[in-house]
A and B are shown apart, each in its own frame.
Chain A
Amino acid sequence: MHLAHYLGLLHKAQERLGDAFTEVGKAHGDEPDIFHTCERLAKQCRAHAEKLGPFARRYAEDAPAEPDRLHSELFSGTRSGPIGLLRDLQDLYLMAAQCDICWTVVGQAAYGARDEDLLGVVKACEQETAIQLKWLRTRMKQAAPQALVVAE
């Protein structure tokens, strides 16, 4: 069963997203809403990773070797200024989108494995990831006209 690998992928993606939220929040600390919301969402991502931990360990017991190139790097540091903010939020958006689709995939696997506990975790967490995506979209939509057309 390969579920462990996708659990691992999601687990790592959640941890990386948490770290990226923290980094972006700090880098744009002069935007107080970005800072405070990123802090909050970083905690949420870490809680997601923590909830996945026991399942990753349990399924690892009967997992074959991990396939190549399972993990991908979506974030390599923050930028500054209004366009930098927009671009950093876009990185977060792509990372959250990866988590979002992983939740769907893992959720399907949980059905297949008849794992009600895992399904419970997926259902709770995928909602929060969906809201993260919405918030990022909302905030980018707000910032884009001023950053791209007005700011010098």
Chain B
Amino acid sequence: MVDRIADPWGPRTPYGPGERWPVRVDTFLADGHTEADVRRWVPSASILHSNGDAMDIAVVDDRIVGVRGRAGDRINHGRVDPKDLYGWQANHSPDRLRRPLVREGDRLVETDWDTAMGRIVARSKELLDGPGGWGHFGFYTSGQLFLEEYYTLGVIGKAGLGTPHMDGNTRLCTATAAAALKASFGTDGQPGSYTDVDHCDAIALWGHNVAETQTVLWMRMLDRRRGPNPPAMLAVDPRATPVAREADVHLALRNGTNLALLNGLLREVIHRGWYDEAYVREHTLGFEELCQVVEDYPVAKVADICDLRAADIERAAELLGRSERLLSTVLQGFYQSNQATAASCQVNNLHLIRGMLGRPGAGLYQMNGQPTAQNNRECGADGDLPGLRNWENEEHVAELARLWNVEVDRIPHWAPPTHAMQIFRYAEQGSIKLLWISATNPAVSLPDLARIRRILAKPELFVVVQDLFLTETAELADVVLPAATWGEKTGTFTSVDRTVHISDKAVEPPGEARPDLDIFLDYARRMDFRDSDGNPLITWTGPEEVFEAWKECSRGRPCDYTAITYDKLRTGGVQWPCTEEHPDGTERLYTDGVFNTDPDYCESYGHDLATGAELLPEEYRAKQPGGRAFLHATPYQPSPEVPSGDFPLLLTTGRTVYQFHTRTKTGRATQLVHAAPESWVELNPADAEGLGVGEGDLVRIESPRGVVRARARICGVRPGVVFLPFHYGYWDATDGAGPGEGRHDRAANELTITAWDPVSKQPIFKVAAVRVVKEADSGGRPSPAPTVGGSAPPEGSGIPATVGGPAAEAPSRGE
């Protein structure tokens, strides 16, 4: 038995380069159940992070009792992340929404579906009537719904209402991954495969605390590290995360300076002749410009900008430059920071100039944080067109119009799709009058929460929230729709490495809760959306029909699903593209060094990375990419907000291994709640001493936008930097008398700045200027921060270890 709270990564199964990663099946069954009394095992995959781990849901008497990893799946080989082991228990939580709610004055009251949907439809029809009616609608969805739900929502929004105001919280999570992949390679989609871990000889983790965000991917890396001929490891992160502690080289750079570091590293790689000249010549464009830009970043200058030792930068360059099979992974440390797209493109550049793509071990993950972020991007429920189509390419839009049988100009393609921050701005100004939020919680997850609360509370804004619980956002809604979740509905979703899994319905949802797909279909029916021939726009009634329709939409595009079926997925995950020619899917993209940059095929004609200015189609054509990838380069610019006299410290935010997103589910699973019950703030010992703050002291963190109170953990964050976990909102806060009173002082986003990357429009969560003031002594009580992960205290601190005890015991067995 393993206590997977005390040891989130479980036992090691070491293996060598090129070998198959050994199987280790993790199981957790609650309430004394054993595998013998499980009636049904229902196929599914993880919905609490983006790794795509396959698992079976254990069902006894029509009730979920646990989960077991799928031994034969290509991604996890049986392993399960602790969030997945325990998180499903939230499905049974007594405070699940069971009936729709509608606002009566200042209260939300229970009602029936007809009344709730009737209100939404009445308001919708009223708004749609008249020129520009489409512009009053905004949809803000998730990275946690299924492909079928996103595609249906995309068709409703883009072909039914005709609004460009659709986005997902993937804007906070993975928008930069998409932007960087499009910019460098022509279309979205990961070049690599998770099996690249099995083959690589070096792993570089760029702002990616994979040990806490995708634990199973980290187990794979750790197992390689414990086996023969282990890969070298580089970590770039201002915190002493488990990844940083494991790495051979750790660059704890100043927040907001990623691009300067990458410019310097690329300069070293080029100067030392570690690049692949033939690959550059045959498969890339822009090498000379890249050389010119990075020439300005000698190591000494970079060391100064990033506050690093020059020798460490040189060691990192050598590790990268001398490797033969380099694997890179990029996440929020880059995506939610200054010059996000430019810095992420520089990682692509590193792989391009070294020819490190399209073969085993030479891999690149522009990661996702959320489980279904990839699907949102593919299906067009966010700021993209379905099938990774280019909104500026008239033929691409015409294809969609033919597919949906609607007039071309009903599909909004005259300007870029509206990104989330702009949707909220239009709502703030009053031109968006109906905002439909599904499966996400912007009142905790967006920057500058006081502003977001003001917007959501505006009486003239009609807010619909579709979720499992009365979240911080749902509290502010006009209509709340109770949704079914994972295990209670059927659909598919796709991991970072393009592996599609099916998640089957295992049990009935509670009360009158409905699958998100059914809610969207009900809305479409009541709105009576029609195609050009007067027939219903949406004819699907269930998930498999939507999947079949989606396959047609994906045909011929990079994310081609045409040879995938539900039945095939029930036997295991399949990587897209999967076509008649490649019926078993495709492990790696760009194996021939030919990229999706053809002007008739690409997803974007490109942007200036410093301003976000769009390049014109004719300019793009004039480059004659001919299947070559683009090497983009940009000079470093300081972040919009840097420390000042009043606010001398830099705030960064991030995750703990025990919680997901805004804890809507993980905050309702006992083992996870006990492991990380409340927020904390991490301080470096030197900063803490200067502030007179000791372990566990209550401190106030202030930015120009708000205040957060938390108990201090003195640990390994870099000097000058303060860390707050972003998960904690106030639905379970006990302080304060009621809404608005003393409850709004624990979400990290009270402090963050409204600013975003010019290309990906991803908010800059990782760089805000703050000050820290001590409020009260700890009285000997340590901070509630877990002792596992980035918040681990120094050795010998005497702080009791985070453990789960008998309630968290989960067996792991080998082959």
Contact = CB atoms under 8 A, between A and B. Distances in A.
30 contacts: A30-B428, A32-B421, A32-B754, A32-B756, A33-B612, A33-B755, A36-B755, A37-B611, A37-B612, A37-B758, A40-B610, A40-B611, A131-B608, A131-B611, A134-B615, A134-B616, A135-B613, A137-B613, A138-B612, A138-B614, A141-B614, A142-B418, A142-B422, A145-B132, A146-B431, A150-B136, A151-B135, A151-B430, A152-B430, A152-B431
A131 B431 contact: no
A138 B415 CA distance: 8
Contacts of A40: 610-611, 637
A31 interface: yes
Q: Which A-B residue pairs are the 10 nearest by beta carbons?
A: A150-B135, A134-B613, A149-B132, A135-B613, A150-B132, A135-B611, A151-B431, A138-B614, A150-B431, A32-B754
A134 B616 CA distance: 9
A1 interface: no
Interface of A: 30-33, 36-37, 40-41, 82, 131-132, 134-135, 137-138, 141-142, 144-146, 149-152
B21 interface: no
Contacts of A150: 132, 134-136, 431
Given A32-B754, A32-B755, A141-B415, A149 B135 contact: yes
A151 B754 contact: no
A36 B754 CA distance: 10
A59 to B, nearest CB: 29
Main secondary structure of the interface of B (DSSP, over half): loop
B756 A146 contact: no
Contacts of B637: 40
* Residue in B136, B616, B758 with the greatest tally of chain A CB atoms within 10 Å: B758
A149 B412 CA distance: 14
Given A135-B608, A146-B431, A149-B131, 15 more contacts: A32-B755, A33-B612, A33-B755, A33-B756, A40-B610, A40-B611, A40-B637, A134-B615, A137-B613, A142-B415, A145-B164, A146-B135, A151-B135, A151-B429, A152-B430
A139 B94 CA distance: 48
Which of A32, A37, A82 has its CB near the most chain B CB atoms (within 10 A)? Answer: A32
A37 B640 CA distance: 10
B416 interface: yes
B426 interface: yes
A142 B416 contact: yes
A32 B428 CA distance: 13
Nearest to A31: B425
Given A33-B758, A141-B415, A151-B429, A135 B131 contact: no
A33 B421 CA distance: 10
Interface in B743-787: 754-756, 758
Contacts of B131: 149
B610 A134 contact: no
The size bracket of the interface on B is 20 to 34
A132 B610 CA distance: 10
Contacts of B136: 150
B501 to A, nearest CB: 36
A131 B756 contact: no
A37 B425 CA distance: 17
Contacts of A37: 611-612, 758
Given A141-B415, A152-B431, A134 B135 contact: no
Contacts of B426: 146
B143 to A, nearest CB: 23
Contact of A131 (B422, B425, B429, B613): B613
A137 B611 CA distance: 12
B546 to A, nearest CB: 29
Contacts of A30: 425, 428
Nearest to A148: B132
A95 B405 CA distance: 44
A141 B608 CA distance: 16
A151 B164 CA distance: 15
A54 to B, nearest CB: 22
Nearest to A141: B415
A131 B619 CA distance: 13
Interface string B462-500: 000000000000000000000000000000000000000
Contacts of A144: 415
Contacts of B418: 142
A137 B612 CA distance: 11
A82 B756 contact: no
Interface in B135-160: 135-136
A41 B414 contact: no
A82 B429 contact: yes
Contacts of A149: 131-132, 135
A144 B613 CA distance: 16
A87 to B, nearest CB: 16
B608 A145 contact: no
A145 B614 contact: no
Interface string B417-441: 0100110011011110000000000
A36 B640 contact: yes
Contacts of A131: 608, 610-611, 613
A82 B135 CA distance: 14
Interface in B579-626: 608, 610-616
Looking at B132, B414, B616, which has the most chain A CB atoms within 10 Å of its CB?
B132
Interface in B367-395: none
Nearest to A133: B613
Nearest to B641: A36
Contacts of A145: 132, 135, 164, 414-415
Contacts of A146: 135, 426, 431
A36 B131 CA distance: 33
Contacts of B615: 134
Contacts of B414: 141, 145
B208 to A, nearest CB: 26
Contacts of A41: 611
Contact of B613 (A32, A36, A138, A152): A138
A116 B674 CA distance: 70
Contacts of A142: 415-416, 418, 422
A142 B607 CA distance: 14
Contacts of A152: 430-431
Nearest to A82: B429
B756 A134 contact: no
B622 to A, nearest CB: 14
Contacts of A137: 613-614
B420 to A, nearest CB: 13
Contacts of B429: 82, 151
A13 B806 CA distance: 74
